């Protein structure tokens, strides 16, 4: 496996430059509403201007995020739990992709030292992988179209995403093996083609989808997932309660921001890696200013994604988890926009704002929020003493779990309002809050 000659792959680990913030507590509003407008696509010196940027939206005093750039088709919740049908579907899809790896390994071994046959196996393997990826892409597109049209439920859509994700994850092994054999056979397949295969898989799997599959197999507790879609984009967000840390996990895809046949504008500069870094810094100013670790373009190793005009930027930041990198963005070289993003946040570090509270029957409910689709903290306390209460939490009438011994329950905020109820025995209290409004911090 070889990298592009003359390019330096940057993988920097920077010293912390910002202290960790305090836990989530009520924060006074600062006035103006959060701006969800896109940032201007101002090209650095020597870099051609691109089309208007896809909306990497500001979430003041915390990380920016990739938003869907067209009118929403859906904004709903689904729950993934033990699901025999979903598990069988996911396992079947994974098996069909795993077959590509097995076939490639056996066929290459059978070719022995015959260079002609080895090259033929690699070429055939590349064709097979392309065909398999295309099948998964069509399945993904069909599922989204049917979901937006109301032909399948949210649970059925999540089942499809889980199956496709498992297949894509398995197929990534075949792509890696293809790269190894391609190098051994004298590179009959262009490295750009293999890098493109890797980039196509980025839109087909992700951490939330992996959690869906695990829940359907019964390997973890059920999870509640917030799903937002447009005609071609998808955002999935959930609260991960495993272990001692409560984490907000979000993945977003905007396929139209990816133009694989376009001219790579970063490559047109004397420093394509630096140009991609500067574009990320422009789109994610808070994230960049509060970075604690950074890696540019080294994601998943050779052949590097920039060979296919895809630039990965991974950043660890002050609101992140124990992961080295808590925000991963993938920029397209032709559009200079982010088409895929993954985020992890430690909820004890996320700044919130006091939305509203109410009391009834001796129970008080308080809500701290961030934004629609972001984390929202529900607190249940005794009205008289202020002591935390273990209570059932309902969002828009749907039970979403119970508060812990600290009286808290983190949820993903629906759009645009949320009716929040806490129930303890025969007593309950409710409040309706806007999940968007004044910025956090």
Contact 110, 116 (CB under 8 A): no
- Angle CA(63)–CA(65)–CA(71) in degrees, nearest 5? 150
Cβ pair 393, 371 in contact under 8 A:
no
Whether the upstream peptide bond of residue 54 has omega within 30° of 0, thus cis, is no
What six digits make up the tokens of 158? 């999540």
Q: Containing H/E element for 75? A: strand 74-80
Q: Is 18 left (phi over 0), alpha (psi -120 to 50) or beta?
A: beta
As a whole number, mean pLDDT of residues 321-340 equals: 92
State the Cα–Cα distance between residues 105 and 118, nearest whole angstrom.
Answer: 11
Average pLDDT on 362-374 reads: 95
Give the pLDDT score at 88: 56
Location of structure tokens 């009438």: 397
pLDDT at 31: 31
pLDDT score, position 202 = 96
- Which of these, 324, 345, 340, lies nearest to 11 by C-alpha position? 324
Report yes or no: 101 and 173 within 8 Å, Cβ to Cβ.
yes
Q: What is residue 324's predicted lDDT score, i.e. its pLDDT?
A: 78
The CA distance from 431 to 384, in Å, is 18
| pLDDT mean over 43-51 | 39
Residue 22 has pLDDT above 60, yes or no: no
Categorize the per-residue pLDDT at 91 as very low, low, confident or very high, splitting at 50, 70 and 90.
low
Burial of 87 (0-12, 13-18, 19+ CB in 10 A): buried
Query: Alpha-carbon distance 255 to 200, whole Å?
Result: 10
Residue-wise pLDDT tens digits, 182-210: 999 999 999 999 999 999 999 999 999 99
Show Cβ contacts of residue 176 under 8 Å, excluding neighbours closer than 6 positions. none
CA atoms within 13 A on the CB side of 20: 13
247 or 100: which leads in pLDDT: 247
In this predicted structure, what is the pLDDT of residue 348?
Answer: 92
Q: How far apart are CA 433 and CA 312, in angstroms?
A: 37
Average pLDDT for the chain = 84
Q: What is the pLDDT of residues 150-163, one digit of tens each?
A: 999 999 999 999 99
This prediction's pTM: 0.84
The pair of structure tokens assigned to 67 is 């938003």
Which range has highest mean pLDDT (22-36, 222-236, 315-329)? 222-236
User: For residue 92, what pLDDT is reported?
Assistant: 63
Alpha helix positions (H), 38-152 = 84-111, 115-148
| pLDDT given for residue 98 in this prediction | 73
């Amino acid at each position: 496996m070889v990298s592009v000659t003359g390019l330096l792959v940057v993988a920097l680990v920077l010293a912390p430059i910002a202290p960790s913030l305090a836990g989530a507590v009520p924060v006074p509003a600062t006035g103006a509403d959060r701006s969800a407008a896109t940032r201007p696509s101002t090209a650095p010196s020597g870099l051609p201007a691109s089309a208007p940027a896809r909306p990497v939206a500001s979430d003041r005093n915390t990380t920016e995020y990739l938003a869907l750039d067209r009118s929403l088709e859906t904004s709903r919740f689904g729950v993934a739990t033990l699901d025999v049908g979903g598990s069988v579907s996911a396992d079947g899809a994974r098996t069909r992709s795993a077959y590509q790896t097995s076939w490639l390994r056996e066929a290459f071994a059978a070719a022995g030292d015959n260079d002609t046959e080895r090259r033929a196996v690699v070429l055939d393997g590349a064709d097979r992988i392309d065909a398999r990826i295309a099948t998964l892409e069509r399945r993904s597109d069909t599922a989204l179209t049917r979901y937006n049209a109301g032909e399948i439920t949210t649970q059925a859509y999540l089942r499809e995403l889980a199956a496709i994700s498992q297949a894509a994850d398995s197929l990534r092994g075949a792509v890696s093996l293809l790269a190894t054999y391609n190098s051994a056979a004298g590179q009959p397949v262009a490295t750009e083609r293999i890098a493109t295969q890797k980039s196509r898989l980025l839109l087909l799997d992700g951490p939330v989808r992996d959690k869906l599959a695990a829940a359907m197999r019964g390997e973890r507790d059920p999870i509640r997932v917030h799903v937002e879609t447009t005609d071609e984009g998808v955002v999935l967000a959930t609260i991960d309660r495993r272990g001692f840390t409560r984490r907000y996990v979000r993945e977003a895809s905007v396929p139209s921001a990816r133009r694989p046949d376009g001219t790579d504008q970063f490559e047109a500069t004397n420093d394509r890696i630096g140009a991609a870094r500067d574009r990320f810094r422009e789109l994610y100013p808070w994230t960049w200013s509060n970075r604690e670790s950074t890696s540019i373009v080294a994601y998943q190793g050779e052949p590097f994604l920039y060979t296919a005009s895809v630039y990965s930027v991974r950043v660890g930041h002050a609101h992140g988890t124990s992961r080295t990198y808590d925000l991963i963005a993938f920029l397209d070289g032709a559009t200079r926009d982010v088409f895929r993003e993954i985020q992890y946040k430690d909820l004890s570090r996320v700044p919130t704002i006091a939305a509203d509270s109410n009391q009834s029957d001796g129970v008080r409910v308080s809500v701290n929020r961030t934004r629609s689709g972001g984390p929202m903290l529900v607190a249940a306390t005794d009205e008289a003493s202020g002591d935390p209460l273990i209570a059932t939490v309902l969002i828009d009438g749907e039970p979403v779990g119970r508060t812990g011994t600290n009286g808290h329950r983190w949820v993903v905020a629906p759009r645009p309002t949320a009716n929040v109820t806490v129930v303890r025995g025969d007593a309950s209290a409710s409040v309706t809050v806007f999940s968007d409004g004044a910025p956090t911090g």
